[in-house]
Amino acid sequence: MATTAEMMTTAEAILFEISQFAVTYAFSILGAVILIVAGYIVAGALERWASSALGRFPSFDETLRRFLSKIVRYVVLVLVGVTVLAQFGVQTASIIAALGAVGLAVGLALQGTLQNIAAGIMLLVLKPFRVGEYVDAGGIAGTIEEIGLFATEMKTVDGLYVLAPNSELWNKAVTNYSRNAIRRYDLEIGISYSDDIELAQQTLMELATNDKRILAVPEVETFVERLGDSAVVVTLRYWTATTDFWPTRFDLTKAAKQAFDAKGISIPFPQRDIHFLPSDLPEPARRGGNPTIVS
């Protein structure tokens, strides 16, 4: 009987403690549930609002829009979690300090990854290149296939796949070959010293005038670039649409060779004058004599 009485007393004590706990924390539990539900709803609403607000800017990148919207959602959920813990008397200051320490540790461990994310955000905001453009960034060259938060996918001119970390692209000077609408090209052709320079320049101008892809403005120019070792280098400087740059360059180079051949303008091979001095000549004669010249 004593044992049964003790068990009853223990059970009553436990029920009393439970009832006391329920009375003490009933409102806290109810408030926590309300906060969680409300916070979840508000986080979703703010995520959709941020996504919709950023979507009003036509130039804003879709990947960056989704990323920032998710950040808004998770920030709200973290704040809700801290507030719920505060409902039960937990010291939130220590929690925030612990979260800061954890964040610092994670940041140090994922330093390279975070650099790529930061670089990806800057690439998406400043847009030094877009999908479909051909770029060269410190030797990493190719057509942009996709710009992600961690890396950028590219395809080289010979069809190879390149996955470049964003930090590598951001820390290099980027040359964008597709961004501007027009491009300039200098077609340099060497002619013989005995050929007519005026005729060569006139021939190049005729080729440029007859090619509709070459723009009238900026104006086409022809000039003598330099006097080489074995040729006079004549240059045709013209501007064309970026989309026509390579076809125009290839076609005009071929047409210039054919036109020069038709008009008798030669494109000489590299030449060198060789001076032969007889070995039996005395030293003064070797220095100032008349050598035999073979071209």
In this predicted structure, what is the pLDDT of residue 294?
47
- CA-atom Rg of the chain in angstroms: 39
CA 262 to chain centre: 46
Q: Are strands 182-191 and 221-227 parallel, antiparallel or unpaired?
A: unpaired
CA 62 to chain centre: 16
Q: Are strands 134-137 and 140-147 parallel, antiparallel or unpaired?
A: antiparallel
Q: Are strands 140-147 and 151-155 parallel, antiparallel or unpaired?
A: antiparallel
Place of tokens 């030797």: 139
In this predicted structure, what is the pLDDT of residue 50?
77
Q: Return phi, psi of residue 293, to 5°.
A: -110, 130
Give yes or no for a contact between 168 and 183, defined as CB atoms under 8 angstroms apart. Answer: no
- Residue-wise DSSP of the chain: -HHHHHHHHHHHHHHHHHHHHHHHHHHHHHHHHHHHHHHHHHHHHHHHHHHHHHHTSTTS-HHHHHHHHHHHHHHHHHHHHHHHHHHTT--HHHHHHHHHHHHHHHHHHTHHHHHHHHHHHHHHHH-SS-TT-EEEETTEEEEEEEE-SSEEEEE-TTS-EEEEEHHHHHTS-EEESSSSSEEEEEEEEEE-TTS-HHHHHHHHHHHHHH-TTB-SSSPPEEEEEEE-SS-EEEEEEEEEEGGGHHHHHHHHHHHHHHHHHHTT---PPP---EEE--TTS-HHHHHHS--EEE-
pTM metric for this prediction? 0.61
Reading the chain (295 residues) residue by residue, the pLDDT tens digits are 456 666 667 766 676 666 666 655 666 667 777 777 887 888 788 878 877 777 776 666 666 677 777 778 878 887 777 777 776 666 666 666 766 766 666 666 555 678 888 888 888 888 899 889 999 998 889 999 988 888 899 999 999 999 999 988 888 899 999 999 999 999 999 999 999 999 999 999 999 999 999 999 999 999 999 998 889 999 999 999 999 999 999 999 999 999 999 999 988 877 666 766 666 656 655 555 555 444 4
In this predicted structure, what is the pLDDT of residue 100?
72
**Residue 153 in tokens:** 């996918």
Domains of the chain: 16-109 (1.10.287.1260), 128-176 (2.30.30.60), 180-295 (3.30.70.100)
In this predicted structure, what is the pLDDT of residue 293?
47
Give yes or no for a contact between 209 and 184, defined as CB atoms under 8 angstroms apart. Answer: no
Write the CA distances from 17 to 13, 14, 27, 261, 292, integer angstroms: 6, 5, 17, 107, 120
As a whole number of angstroms, the distance between CA 207 and CA 225 comes to 18
